[in-house]
Amino acid sequence: MTTFIHKPLSLALAAALGAGYYGMASGALLSLSQVPLFITSGSKANVLLIFSNSNAMDEDPTGLAVGSADPTSKSEIARIAARSLVTNYTGQINMGLMAYQQSGVAHDWLNPSTYDASYDPAHYDPSWTGARDSATHKKFKLPNPTSPNATGACTTSAGAQVDCIYYNINLPYYSGGPAGNLFCYSTVNGTSAFASFPGDHTNYACYSTKTGTSDAAPPAPSDGNGYASHQFTTTFGPTESDYAQAIDDFGRRITSYDVGPAWFAKTSPGLGYLHVPIANLDTTQANKLNLKLATSVVPTYNAGVWDDNPTAIAGGNTATNPNAPLQNAGLSPITGTFRTAKDYFNGATANFGAAQGGAQAAPATSCGKDFVVFLTNGLPSATAAGVSMTAADYVPGQPFAAGEVNNAITAVTDLNGGTRPVKTYVIGFALPEFTNNYFVTNPPNPLDQMAAAGGTTSASYAGNLATLNSTFNTIFSSIITQSGAAAAVAMTSGSVVAGGRIYQGQFNSSDWSGDLIAYKTDPTTGAISTVAWQAGTVLNSQNYDTGRSIITYKAGTGGIPFRLASLDAGQVTALASNPNLNASNPSDTTANRLNYLRGQTGISGFRPRLISVLGDIVNSAPSYVGAPAFNYADNLEAASYYSFRVTHSNRTPMLYVGANDGMLHGFDASSTWSDTNPLVDSDFDGNLTNDHDVSVNTANSGKEVLAYVPSKIYGNLAQLTSPNYSHRYYVDGSPTVVDTFYSSAWHTTLVGSLGAGGQGLYSLDVTNPSAFSEANASSIVKWEYSDADLGYVYGQPSIVKLNTGQWAAVFSNGYNNSEADGSASTTGYAYLYIVDIGTGALIKKISTVTGSTTTPNALATPTLVDRDADGDVDYAYAGDLQGNMWKFDLCDENNQHVCASNANGWDLAYGTTPLFVAQDASNNRQPITSAVEVSRHFSGDGYQLYFGTGKYLESGDIATTHTQSFYSVWDMDLSPSTITGRSELQVQTIDTTVTVSGKIYRTSSANSVDWVDTTTNTGTKRGWYMDLPATGERVVSDSALFSNRILFTTLIPDSATCSGGGIGWLMELDSVTGMALGGPTFDINGDGVVTVSDDLGTPGSYASGVQKSSIPSAVRMQKNPGGPGGGSMNKWTSMSKKNTTTNSSLENEQNSLPPIQSRSSWRQIFE
């Protein structure tokens, strides 16, 4: 899931909803999930591809008849694109295929026919965009093979120089057999323009030869004026292509030549036919679709003998045979086909009987997300009753049948309505040019109207394979990101509020692409306004080779460029393995694999990345790094921190985030400011001028400046290129960035973990982004750290100063440290690690002496505390999988209460006894997998700790139902001792739920706490607890302390399809006692402010929690500078399911601004 975790010394949030709940199976390592648990129950979108299979598909994109099987035909181009679509989206959607129902299909002979042709070169005008019936302006030309001796302006396929035939319209003409070259002249030389309905050019004398450039008529049926060898005199009727363009008059002169056998029908049943029912697009379904989308099998003709099944297809080459590719024949009954689609989706039979493939069962709804993608090369040419267009259906001057177009729009509207709405995407492919030209000057285009009726705003248009591929991919990417199922929603990982913007990491589980989105915020309310930039889009435009600086780590060397020539032998071998190079694919080379990882696209046989080359950002929260801004004393170290701040005050602001493409990414977060509201003090400086009201992008906003590939993930990198890729984690931990001092100088240091991606940590010097380059890799990469007792570190490292004077990274041992990976722990104990920030050398490793090799224990993210505000950490607190809450003594004070200057005596504060053990009422241990929040106890004696219990790491965790709790326990300083159990804590309870305006709220108890008083020997309580009442409810993300309130979110998993993985609650309680707050907590009446009127229907009755519609992340607090009431707090959570109304997964609950209570964790001293 995606959640926010507190980041030491920063304002960023991190993702921790991958950290926690119930106990482990006895004697077993954790089966850590390699996919976000909350998406495993999602459902895939249903997509019905409606494919044009009319006779017009025999044409090439210009309208020239070439035959269905010709590689330049509309049919073949469209089928190639559709087959690519099937390959690219296998495993991601449910898909089926429908086309026009056909009848009366028979073999025939295909000929291209130019309408109202001219032989006069003076009429050639390739720039013509005017009327298609112009007698003197012709846009196109073809060679006239029978006229070799005049201008030589055209060349035949054999290379001969000949005269030309000039034209604007060239459409198929079908005959009973080969007719050779024909040059026909209308014997009724009418007065109307050739393309008008009704026309009067109806009777034609046809010759086999026409020479010269004269347009003069022949003395039919005699030869003359260049016409020779009269063949016949006849009439011609419209084909499907003619009907679709409102043509039943072919002009004064027409020509044709032989192409070859084809299928032909001049009738239509008027409805659609379901060739492949919608089903999961697995290999079996892909094979069915690809068979129907294969190159059309056309009949053969040899010495007067026809063969309609030349490839011996089982069952014959018929229109409905599932073993035969689609045939192109007949008319375009668009209205009726959409009626068939509607009945199919709704289980009706009026337009979806056995004759339309109706023996197949209708698909189940897919979380309310069903789609049609309609590919057409023209407008309707037949009604739903199967009646072809006639002169009565057209208005002179309009190249379409307006009445039938309106019927089609209505049919699409009906499909998008009712109890099961189906959205329709429309693709106009290789539409007739002069029809398109008409709609440019006479909008709207009917295809746009159809798309709008289908809920997709406007149609898409393509004219060749490249644009059709792009159009298909854009549409299918949109479908997947719209899906209501968690498995196909664009999800968030974490967010950070900085620089007037909210930055949020996201992922799309359809293709495991990712994004980092910068949202502008309203200067008055703090609410999200618009998207400023999207890193995934920007990264797509950066050249994989020359436009990115990507570095990595080589043992014994340090930082190196991520280039094949720089890697060591083991790294090169890893890139060629898992899976091994495919000898049958010449593109599958180690070099190409590395280039793919750098962002190269289009490599044959590799996994397509259709949305972005940026990988999914799941559990890594972005870390914002601007100018140095920590509140260090200038004399904290030997060198001035103030000078360091001044030197780097104008450095490029950056966002650092891990992604599961194998890289930590650093993106340019620069922006400029505009003061737009003179009444709001946006920067809280007490001055209404020069405020940071609106942030504006720079030229480099969102651009990747640096990427880092940790060495510990090389063993799985090659899997990213595989078309059979199954998701796994790579760089899934959240980075921490802090200003540190080592080697006699200040530095800005980043330390990151890998989450479930690997057992190790890494550190980079990110002081100066302007110096980021592959050439400087050795100075950027500081170290990588691993150890036999180190497992998969999900928590975020802390960066602190120690009592030894050193700066260090502090982190937990992580999960499964005894995994048999060649460097397994021999104890399985949980450890706290302290590592030198400059060198990566181990300073101290403190064992809890709990766990075993068969059931290894693991600490959650530690929280560091500075007890005396001297800038050095003295204590660390962390929970573990066994429910223990540990206190680590990093001071080792002497009798004068002065901490030791070395780490020799650092250890567990209470020996091998934890401060507290979390157990439910039945004494079942409750795992702790999120960081503890710490504040000074209100008495001034010691610290009050806040933490929840629960685990959400393995697929089996989804169904766990043990009771989990939220605790607050008091660690006393003056009389230090452990807490024996719940009996020393005051119980608080969640009492009722109340629904107000459609939202569900919780109320809770207000039991007073009889605190222990060691001076008077009174009182019995060392804290409080609250059991979570819902089945399976737990806390797996960090809590947040604000003023006298403790805020935390809960998770209630749900395996139901379309559930978004479950739901949860945002809770808000009195931090000292755990009681319900005595005042308003949520904007219940929705007026934009939190006041006493926000009660639950009874004055004085206030909520302690609000239910969230899907799984919430940890809460993130953001100050609201203005608005009604003079300011408030925004409580942001990121949800596991996108809100279909707002199209966002970020949700906000407002809060009032009570007096602020200080916190005591070391990280807060310098915020």
- In 3-state terms, what secondary structure has residue 140? strand
Cβ-contact 171, 55 below 8 angstroms: no
| In the block, residue with structure tokens 């950290």 | 19
Mean pLDDT of the 519-547 span: 87
Q: Is the pLDDT of residue 638 over 60?
A: yes
The DSSP result for 1029-1047, as a single string, is: -STT-B--S--EEETTEEE
Q: Is the pLDDT of residue 926 over 90?
A: yes
Pick the closest to residue 952 from 29, 28, 7, 38 (CA basis).
38
**Per-residue pLDDT at 1153:** 46
Pick the closest to residue 361 from 751, 125, 96 (CA basis).
96
CA-to-CA distance for 10 and 981, rounded, in angstroms? Answer: 34
- Quickly state the pLDDT bin for 254 (edges 50, 70, 90): very high
Look over the chain and give the mean of its residue pLDDT values, rounded to a whole number.
87
Write down the H helix ranges in 316-398: 334-346
Mean pLDDT of the 668-672 span: 89
- Quickly state the pLDDT bin for 1105 (edges 50, 70, 90): very high
Q: What pTM, to 2 d.p., does this model score? A: 0.74
Q: Is the pLDDT of residue 18 over 80?
A: no
- Quickly state the pLDDT bin for 507 (edges 50, 70, 90): confident
Mean pLDDT of the 588-592 span: 96
Least confident of 383-397, 778-792, 844-858: 383-397
**Per-residue pLDDT at 754:** 98
- Quickly state the pLDDT bin for 657 (edges 50, 70, 90): very high
Exposure class string for 848-881: b at 16+ Cβ within 10 A, else e: bebbebebbbbbbbbbbbbbeeebbbbbbbbbbb
- Quickly state the pLDDT bin for 1137 (edges 50, 70, 90): low
Q: Is the pLDDT of residue 502 over 70?
A: yes
**Per-residue pLDDT at 159:** 83
Name the strand (E) or helix (H) holding 668.
Answer: strand 663-668
CA-to-CA distance for 1027 and 653, rounded, in angstroms? Answer: 43
Longest dimension (CA), the chain: 130
- Quickly state the pLDDT bin for 848 (edges 50, 70, 90): very high
Q: Is the pLDDT of residue 1139 over 90?
A: no
**Per-residue pLDDT at 1151:** 62
Q: Is the pLDDT of residue 39 over 90?
A: no
**Per-residue pLDDT at 651:** 97
The DSSP result for 423-466, as a single string, is: EEEEEEES--HHHHHHHHHSPPPHHHHHHHHTTSSS-EEE-SHH
Q: Is the pLDDT of residue 691 over 90?
A: no
**Per-residue pLDDT at 9:** 26
Instruction: Provide CB contacts within 8 A for 583, sequence distance 6+.
Output: none
Name the strand (E) or helix (H) holding 683.
Answer: none
Least confident of 294-298, 693-697, 869-873: 693-697
Q: Which of the two residues, 867 and 158, has the higher pLDDT score?
A: 867
**Per-residue pLDDT at 437:** 82
Least confident of 24-38, 94-108, 645-659: 24-38
In this predicted model, what pLDDT tens digit does every residue of 388-401 receive, in sequence order?
887 778 777 777 88
Chain CA centroid to CA 173, Å: 47
Mean pLDDT of the 1101-1119 span: 84
In this predicted model, what pLDDT tens digit does every residue of 265-309 receive, in sequence order?
988 999 999 999 999 999 999 999 999 999 999 999 998 899 999
Chain CA centroid to CA 512, Å: 7
Cα-based distances in Å from 557 to 551, 560, 591, 787, 795: 13, 8, 22, 19, 28
- Quickly state the pLDDT bin for 758 (edges 50, 70, 90): very high
- Quickly state the pLDDT bin for 1043 (edges 50, 70, 90): confident
Boundaries of CATH 3.40.50.410 in the chain? 46-103+266-482
Cβ-contact 383, 404 below 8 angstroms: yes
Question: Exposed (0-12), middle (13-18) or buried (19+): which is 1092, by Cβ within 10 Å?
Answer: exposed
**Per-residue pLDDT at 682:** 54
Q: Which of 190-204, 234-248, 474-488 has the highest mean pLDDT?
A: 234-248
Give the N- to C-terminal CA distance of the chain in Å, as an integer: 27
In sequence order, the β-bridge partners of residue 224 are 227
Q: Is the dihedral of CA 591, 595, 598, 604 positive or negative?
A: negative
**Per-residue pLDDT at 1125:** 41
Q: Which of the two residues, 489 and 848, has the higher pLDDT score?
A: 848
The CATH superfamily holding the domain 46-103+266-482 is: von Willebrand factor, type A domain (3.40.50.410)
Mean pLDDT of the 178-196 span: 74
**Per-residue pLDDT at 155:** 87
CA-to-CA distance for 277 and 296, rounded, in angstroms? Answer: 20
User: In this structure, which long-range contacts are made by residues 844-850, counting pairs with CB atoms below 8 Å and at least 24 apart in sequence?
Assistant: 844/903, 844/906, 845/787, 845/789, 846/888, 846/906, 846/907, 846/908, 848/880, 848/884, 848/886, 848/908, 848/912, 848/914, 849/912, 850/880, 850/882, 850/884
Exposure class string for 618-647: b at 16+ Cβ within 10 A, else e: bbbbbbbbbebebebeeebbeeebeebbee
Mean pLDDT of the 78-96 span: 91
Q: Is the pLDDT of residue 149 over 90?
A: no
Pick the closest to residue 736 from 1041, 496, 1048 (CA basis).
496
- Quickly state the pLDDT bin for 680 (edges 50, 70, 90): low
